[in-house]
Amino acid sequence: MSQTKQINQSDIGDILENSLNGIRPNHAECLRLLESDDVPLMGLTAGHLTKKQFGQKASFVNNIILNYTNVCITDCKFCAFYRSPGAEDSYTLTLDQIESRVKVAWEMFKIRQVLIQGGHNPNLRIEYYENTFKMMRQKFPNIGIHGLSTSEIDMIARIEKSSTKEVLSRLKDAGLQSIPGAGAEILVDSVKDIISPKKISSVDWIRIMEESHTMGLPASATMMYGHVESNADIADHFFKIVELQQRTNGFMAFIPWNFEPNNTLMQKENLVPYGKGGIQLLKMIAISRLVFDGLIPHIQSSWLTNGVGMAQLALQYGADDFGGTLIGEEVVSCTGARSTELTGKLIVDAIHQIGYSAEERDNFYNSIALL
Ligand code: SF4
């Protein structure tokens, strides 16, 4: 059957036809996409839009994650990583430990990005972060610093009795270069009240993102789906990000990833017995491309929780970026869902397996090498 005939027969054909003509779905149409089962045709359309822009090519970044502390007082129900202050197995990395981890990763893998994320640790003052960023910019100038979610920025501001703007400005001066999208989960407060009642509200997430974009700190946006949210909540999430991006143009990438319930309070309380799996991931990737086409350039495949095989499929369903090697990641690993340790070579092989060329990129999605 031809693509046109398929589109004419689909319950979402009108939306996909618009997409092929450069018209993005609106909020109501996004909801219709979420309610539809026609994932293959969404993927075909999203994959077509992606190929039109990027060709048969997928990018990735050699990076590590520095989970600098697991001490946290925010008690999110979806988190298996955190420990209360004083817990026997809690930790906070020292500046020397951070330096030696980054040094080893630079020497072994020539990493181009360190993703820095940790718990909301009430014992850490802003100088801890400033000293870390200054050390990294000075000793490893080729490595981008992608760090601190909006909720960590908010925590630092509360500890320092300062504004988030002031904190962002000091951290930027110390060497912070971009902000990861974590902490968004689903940007609907009735959802946040269930899964992370002590974390910042959706309004605060958007405000801090807007502040960072405005002062020249670009960011990624994320969505953690597959827990207590409805399709209407997911549509709201997409469109809050659309509206912010239309104002600031500060998001470089969007990353949808599925909630992994193992070892979390949400599983213990039987709120979510199992994750959403592969088809839902492909649907979210495809809808992300359709909703953000021409607005947010990059959509990342979520290999960390879904594995390399799913990431290869995601690249056909609207993702253009494989993501990072994420060496040293500890948060998802605590749920047992981490699929494997990946090196740049394994990512390049996975991209070549589907007949694409691989592009190593830096923190800002600039090309470093075509492989
Ligand atoms: S997700 Fe982050 S803020 Fe929430 S409990 Fe875990 S470490 Fe703390």
Number of domains in the chain: 1
Q: What is the pLDDT of residues 332-367, one digit of tens each?
A: 666 665 556 778 888 999 999 999 999 999 999 999
Residue-averaged pLDDT of the chain: 93
Q: Rounded to 5 degrees, what angle do the CA atoms 283, 285, 291 make? A: 95
pLDDT of residue 335: 67
Q: How far is the CA of 76 from the centre of ligand 1 (A)?
A: 5
Q: How far is the CA of 156 from the centre of ligand 1 (A)?
A: 14
Q: Answer whether residue 305 is part of any domain.
A: yes
The ligand 1 atom at the shortest distance from the C-alpha of residue 118 is: 7
Q: Answer whether residue 41 is part of any domain.
A: no
Nearest CA to ligand 1 atom 6: 79
pLDDT of residue 358: 98
pLDDT of residue 355: 97
Report the alpha-carbon distance of residue 85 to residue 73 in Å, rounded: 7
Answer yes or no: are the C-beta atoms of 313 and 278 closer than 8 Å.
yes
Q: Answer whether residue 11 is part of any domain.
A: no
pLDDT classification of 292: cutoffs 50, 70, 90? very high
Note down the domain range covering 322. 57-370
| pLDDT score of 329 more than 70 | no
Q: Answer whether residue 19 is part of any domain.
A: no
Q: Which amino acid, residue 1?
A: M
Q: How far is the CA of 72 from the centre of ligand 1 (A)?
A: 6
Report the alpha-carbon distance of residue 368 to residue 323 in Å, rounded: 15
Q: Is 180 in the pocket of ligand 1 (CB under 6 A)?
A: no
Q: What percent of the chain has pLDDT over 90?
A: 81
Q: pTM for the complete prediction?
A: 0.94
Q: Answer whether residue 257 is part of any domain.
A: yes
Residue 354's nearest CA partner among 326, 324, 322 is 322
Q: Is 76 in the pocket of ligand 1 (CB under 6 A)?
A: yes
Report the alpha-carbon distance of residue 318 to residue 309 in Å, rounded: 15
If DSSP codes are grouped into helix, strand and coil, which group holds residue 69? strand
Q: What is the pLDDT of residues 135-173, one digit of tens each?
A: 999 999 999 999 999 999 999 999 999 999 999 999 999
Q: Answer whether residue 258 is part of any domain.
A: yes
Mean pLDDT, to the nearest integer, of 74-95?
93
Q: What is the pLDDT of residues 169-197, one digit of tens each?
A: 999 999 999 999 998 999 999 999 999 99
Nearest CA to ligand 1 atom 1: 79
Domain of 78, CATH number, reads 3.20.20.70
Q: How far is the CA of 338 from the centre of ligand 1 (A)?
A: 17
Answer yes or no: are the C-beta atoms of 29 and 322 closer than 8 Å.
no
Q: What is the pLDDT of residues 222-277, one digit of tens each?
A: 999 999 999 999 999 999 999 999 999 999 999 999 988 888 888 888 888 888 88
Mean pLDDT, to the nearest integer, of 97-110?
92
